[in-house]
Amino acid sequence: MFLNSANILFLSSSIFGIFLATSSSSWLAAWIGLELNLLSFVPLITSKKDQYSSESALKYFLIQALASAILILAALMVNISPFCSLGLITSSLLIKTGSAPFHFWFPAVIQGLAWPQTALLMTLQKISPMVLLSYTLTLYSPLTQFLFFISITSSAIFGALGGLNQTLLRKLMAYSSINHMAWMLSAMLISELLWLQYFLFYCLISVSIISIFYSTQSYHTSNLIFKINFSSMKKSIFMFSLLSLGGLPPFTGFLPKWIVIQELANHHMFLPLTILLVSTLLTLYYYLSISVGSFLLSSSKTLSYYNLKYNIPTFLTYFNFMALLVPSFIFLFIS
């Protein structure tokens, strides 16, 4: 069971580290909050107690410790070389978020995690570095703007290409997260409210899909065919959830992308917008291949052996339905 007393303690400590990092008034206090968050999340990774989770925990700790060392070094250099210091701070925070071109650790770490830890790494662990990244943009440094542009373009490209021909679901979600980081960084260039809105939609849809994978214990695309015994409605909601994550209209995932597209066009940022749109088409290709394949190839005869063991609870079906359509209606009603 993931939510035992020890994990609840570490999770609470990790959340406290997030609050400390995001509400701090100095880089030293932010570094302390990031370290508290890191040291609290590592025991959550190793709660599975196998060689894969231990390897992922070691990789995660080393990469995050390296990024924290760069951050504290840059904080000490603020008075000596502010220009270079701000560039190092931005780079260290991009490493912590798993954005390209510093993304190589992210799929490798996620591959050894269970689904609950994967959901935390893709959502909760991105909050503090992204909030701190938004602080760096307020200083209007040309180097920071350049690093953001490099990260946006590379995250969009590597996130889209990395998911092609990918059969491991955890790595697929990792590359999807990298691609979404390009959209969130683009929104961050425009306003804090815009990237926060996109991040909330992203968390809602990602958790809804991971809940399906976790309830069926699916880790490979073949598991979606041979393990999952869906009714027609459940299979449709699962397919629509993946398409929503890819940003296909009229699902919820399209709404934040639509807003970002409008804002990028209004600010005449057509080059990153073009790259983002092309990468989204590539991500939709592998989302469609997985969802349509699992929808068409599943059959009651093939899946009769798994009727009792692998059956998605009803509340997960309703949760995914709410995540798909209800935010869309609320947004349209408000606008």
Per-residue pLDDT of the chain (335 residues; tens, 9 = 90+): 466 788 889 999 999 999 999 998 888 899 999 999 999 999 998 876 677 888 999 999 999 999 999 999 998 887 788 888 888 999 999 999 999 899 999 999 999 999 999 999 999 999 999 999 998 888 777 888 899 999 999 999 999 999 888 889 999 999 999 999 999 999 999 988 999 999 999 999 999 889 888 887 888 887 776 655 555 666 777 788 888 888 888 888 899 999 999 999 999 999 999 999 999 999 988 888 887 766 666 544 444 433 434 444 444 444 555 555 555 545 444 44
How much is the pLDDT for 227?
A: 57
First to last CA, the chain: 42
Contacts of 177 (CB under 8 A, 6+ apart): 98, 106, 122, 159, 206
* Residue 301: per-residue pLDDT: 44
> What pLDDT sits at residue 247?
86
Write down the pLDDT at residue 243. Answer: 86
User: With left for phi above 0 and alpha for psi between -120 and 50, is residue 101 left, alpha or beta?
Assistant: alpha
d(CA 291, CA 299): 14
Separation of alpha carbons 99 and 152, rounded Å: 8
What is the model's pTM?
0.87
Q: Alpha-carbon dihedral of residues 133, 138, 141, 144, nearest 10 degrees?
A: 20
Query: What's the CA dihedral at 172, 12, 35, 133 to 10 degrees?
Result: 60
Distance CA 209, CA 239 (A): 10
The alpha-helical segments, DSSP class H, found in the chain are 5-23, 27-45, 51-76, 82-97, 105-111, 115-122, 127-137, 142-162, 169-190, 192-216, 223-226, 232-245, 254-266, 270-297, 314-334
Q: What is the pLDDT of residue 307?
A: 41
Question: Using CA atoms, how far apart are residues 156 and 251, in angstroms rounded to an integer?
Answer: 21
Q: Name the DSSP class of 219.
A: -
| pLDDT value, residue 80 | 82
